[in-house]
Structure 1
Amino acid sequence: MLKFDEELFLKLVEDEGLSFRGQVESIVDDISNKGYSNIFLIGAGGTIAMMYPYEYILKSNSSINVYSEIAAEFMVMNHKHFSKDSVCIFASVSGTTKETVEAAQFCKDRGATTIGLVAEPNTPLTQIVDHCVCTGSEKHSFDTFFILLYMFVFRFMYNNNEFPQYEQFTEEVSLLPRGILNAVKAFDQKAEAFAIKHKDTDYHMLVGSGNLWGNAYSYAMCILEEMQWIHAKSIHAAEFFHGTLEIVEEDTSVVLLKGEDETRPLVERVERFAEKITKNLTIIDTKEFELDGISDEFRKHFAVSINWAVLSRISVYLERERNHSLDLRRYYRQMEY
């Protein structure tokens, strides 16, 4: 597969990523024993998008109060549910994301408990937070961060007497890297075909819902817009029929991200509409991928990881077909703004 080192993926995500389970459990158990009022999931750009699935999971499976907040807005909004008893979780691959670092310091200064997920060691975010899980590599960092967030969120739920299946769940988390790898292999030709077909397409609609809404938001903004300079819009399936449907035409590229949670019918409704209008409908459905050893009960949660991994295969082929490096930027971190 183009630009995919299977051995490195398994080393970073399976061997090293899963090894953080003990550290995560220790952090969560310590916080749970001391007590806390709520959880804030805070990020910027791709990392706030990464948090949205876990907010959805908590809201739909737990009584724990949870808020996902964009770092820059959070610091100026005077959030009335934030206090010294809040638990604040941040993620930054580089550990230097300006807004995220500032938000972590903001929370720390006000006495809240802070947790950071970071790839690069000895960076500003690692030095601010109370608890840091540092993966040590930017490669496959999102895949690893997703797995760490499963561990954090479901451990908090378990300690809140809401998730007795925790041991089974964590055993299945350990199978997820192999499931991701198999999904990537199964999807690779489709990813290449999409990139070849759409190398000159200048606008895409990304539609998602539930725990895949964050992926739709992130892929449109961080990959298509930031990394490929392609006009894109992320649309929540529940909102698609309140405006966006009017600009769908015969040649509009509509990409539907179908997961397996309770909101799947919302995406299916968009699908029924779009297939009548456009000839450029792409459906990426996590149900199509086999996940050996993973129960039907938990597939809906793991759809986040599977969907992101297969979308990432589209990215590398778009890079090749469009001769546009995923690392190329005109403005981001190139100038002051």
Structure 2
Amino acid sequence: MLRFDEPEFLRQMASTVALRPQIEELVDRLVDEGFDNLFLVGAGGTYAQMWPYEHLARRSSAFPVRAVIAAELIASGDASLGERSVAVFPSVSGTTDDVVRAIGYCRARGVRTVGLTGYPDSPVAREVDVALVSEPKAWPFDAQMLLFMGRLLERRGEFDGYGRLADELAGLPEILVRVARQADPVAAAFAEAHKDTDYHFLVGGGNLWGFTYLYSMCILEEMQWLRTTRVHSAEFFHGSLELIEEDTSVVIFQGEDETRALTDRVESFARRVCKDVTVFDTRDYPLEGISPEFRGLVAPLVLDTVLGRVSKHLERVRDHSLDLRRYYRVMDY
């Protein structure tokens, strides 16, 4: 597969699920000590990565869990943030400035802090109370967050199946390699068909809304300098749909949670008015070893793997490196 280092991918993914004992010990200690709320604090893609787990908590529990933007938290504050709070800070490099500053802001208020990163000597790992360290550049953070939130919900009596889910996640590295292999020809075809497309309309919902936002902003815009519109499937019929024309590239991310019908409704409408509709559906992938009841929970990981192949093929056909930036970490701002 184009620019797919399978051994590295397996090492990175295995390192995330291998954190299970540390995550469970941490969650158990936090629950036993007691805390009142949980903040999932990120910036850009890592902020979007936290949305599925706010969503999971919101539909499963009355426990307050909130995904927040690091810079906004510092600027605006939060009345519920304090000594009875726990905050989780993901950063691939461990150097994201807004995240590092948010850690300091939270610690000054007595918040217990947890970092997710691939670098044990990074600012994020050094500044938090507990650092959960995976292999360098391991992405995404979904496995760690599924383990963290699943254990928390189990301890609260709100997730009876957590143990089985955690056991099944151990097979995730190999499962996702198979996903990548299956997705690669689809990804190549999409890239070839859209190498000259300069605008994409992206739609997703439920626990895939965060990925929709992330892929639109962090990949197509930041890494490929393409114009996009991103719309939640539940909000599709309230405004932005007026931008869709017959030749608009409409890209739909479809998962397997309870919001699937909302995205089906979008697809049905889009195909009536547009000739360029692409649906990336996690249901197309067998995911041997993952129980049907857990498929919806791992959908963000599946979609990240599928669209990772799209990204590599877009890079090829557009001759535009995914590492190229004009402004991000290039200019002072």
Aligned to 1:166: 162
Aligned to 1:259: 255
Aligned to 1:38: 37
User: Aligned in 2, Cα 1:163/1:236: closer, same or farther, shift over 3 Å?
Assistant: same
Aligned to 2:132: 133
- The runs of at least 4 aligned residues of structure 1 exceeding 3 Å deviation read none
2:139 counterpart of 1:142? yes
Aligned to 2:9: 9
CA distance in 1, matches of 2:289, 2:117: 29
2:321 counterpart of 1:325? yes
Aligned to 2:201: 205
Aligned to 1:52: 51
Give yes or no for contact 2:212–2:253 (8 Å, CA) kept in 1.
yes
Cα distance, 1:18 vs. partner?
2.2
TM-score (norm 1): 0.97
Using the TM superposition, name which of 16-25 and 182-191 deviates more. Answer: 16-25
CA distance in 2, matches of 1:11, 1:90: 22
Aligned to 1:120: 119
Equivalent position SS for 1:115: strand
Give the counterpart of 2:283 among 284, 287, 309.
287
Give yes or no for contact 1:121–1:136 (8 Å, CA) kept in 2.
no
Cα distance, 1:212 vs. partner?
0.1
Amino acid at match of 1:221: M
Deviation string 1:18-77 (CA, Å, 9 cap, x unpaired) is 221111111111111100001111100000010001111111112221111011111122
Deviation string 1:184-218 (CA, Å, 9 cap, x unpaired) is 11111010111111111010011010100000000
CA distance in 2, matches of 1:150, 1:179: 16
Aligned to 2:240: 244
Amino acid at match of 1:29: D
Q: 1:151-230 maps to which residues of 2 (within 5 A)?
A: 151-230=147-226
Cα distance, 1:299 vs. partner?
0.6
Equivalent position SS for 1:114: strand
Equivalent position SS for 2:298: helix
Give yes or no for contact 1:95–1:120 (8 Å, CA) kept in 2.
yes
CA distance in 1, matches of 2:92, 2:10: 19
Cα distance, 1:272 vs. partner?
0.7
Amino acid at match of 2:5: D
Give yes or no for contact 2:12–2:135 (8 Å, CA) kept in 1.
no
CA distance in 2, matches of 1:206, 1:184: 21
Amino acid at match of 1:249: E
CA distance in 2, matches of 1:45, 1:190: 27
CA distance in 2, matches of 1:163, 1:299: 15
Amino acid at match of 1:312: G
Deviation string 1:254-310 (CA, Å, 9 cap, x unpaired) is 100000011111111110110011111000000110011211111110111001110
TM-score (norm 2): 0.98
User: Aligned in 2, Cα 1:315/1:86: closer, same or farther, shift over 3 Å?
Assistant: same
**Which residues of structure 1 form unaligned runs of 5+?**
none
Amino acid at match of 1:142: W
Cα distance, 1:120 vs. partner?
2.2
Equivalent position SS for 1:142: coil
Cα distance, 1:174 vs. partner?
1.2
CA distance in 2, matches of 1:46, 1:252: 25
CA distance in 2, matches of 1:161, 1:327: 44
Amino acid at match of 1:63: A
Give yes or no for contact 2:43–2:99 (8 Å, CA) kept in 1.
yes
CA distance in 2, matches of 1:299, 1:292: 10
